[in-house]
Homo-oligomer: A and B are copies of this chain.
Amino acid sequence: MPKLKRISESTISRLSRYYRALVQLDKDNYETVSSKDLANLEHLTPAQVRKDLSFFGSFGTRGLGYPVRELKDKIARILGVDQEWNVALVGIGNIGSALVSYKEFARQGFKIKLLFDNDQRKIGSNHKGIVIRDVANLTRELKDNHIEIVVIAVPPQQAQAVCDDIVKADVKAILNFAPINLKVPKGVSLRNENMAMELEHLSFCLVNDHYCEQG
């Protein structure tokens, strides 16, 4: 019985982790799994697992645990990975190319449909079977092709302008690799993949081991 409460970022991230674990358990032909087992697999606490799941309903049986396949499917539904998503990629440089080559995303339902760049030498060329389009037509082409998720992999100076064009196309989900704080209107989901920040987190831990979680 899902109440209309905000779900925390950490709960959503953990759902992804449960999902990955359940896919593996299902492959390994496990029928059921307890919150304790699932917690151990992901280095979490059983109470955390049960509380996270309880936000979305009661999926388990007391005394037995959770049915693996069923729970996997339920979480897939919740995460929206039971369906296909049309993804576009803007900026086909180092990172952009790596993402296009990565077949795992497609297998998970994230289908890279369109590629964009502003480099005349790249526009029109075929990249892993997908033609690179001119970013000048970004808004229109995103609309025409019903793109639902856009990945930004352009230099930081260009990122906000690209982002604005994406928002104009009514796209509601953006994954950004540029190390910059993009401004998006309410109703648009933005996730940042900031590697510099992760490296700085690590150097912080190296310098301040006493302050840091891992002690």
A interface with B by C-beta (< 8 Å): 4-7, 9, 12-13, 15-17, 19-20, 41-43, 78-81, 85, 87, 94-95, 97-99, 101-102, 104-105, 108-110, 148-149, 172-175, 179, 181, 183, 186-191, 193-215
- Additional A-B contacts beyond A94-B102, A104-B179 (16; CB < 8 A): A5-B211, A6-B211, A7-B208, A7-B211, A12-B200, A19-B200, A20-B179, A43-B181, A104-B196, A105-B195, A105-B196, A108-B196, A175-B195, A186-B215, A188-B214, A191-B198
* Contact present for B181 and A42 (CB under 8 Å): yes
Residue among B20, B101, B172, B211 making CB contact with A206, cutoff 8 Å: B172
Q: Which residue of B lies closest to A211 (CB)?
A: B7
Given contacts A94-B102, A199-B105, contact A15 B79 (CB under 8 A): no
Give the chain B neighbours of A193 by CB distance below 8 A.
193, 195, 198
Give the chain B neighbours of A197 by CB distance below 8 A.
13, 16-17
* Contact present for B212 and A189 (CB under 8 Å): yes
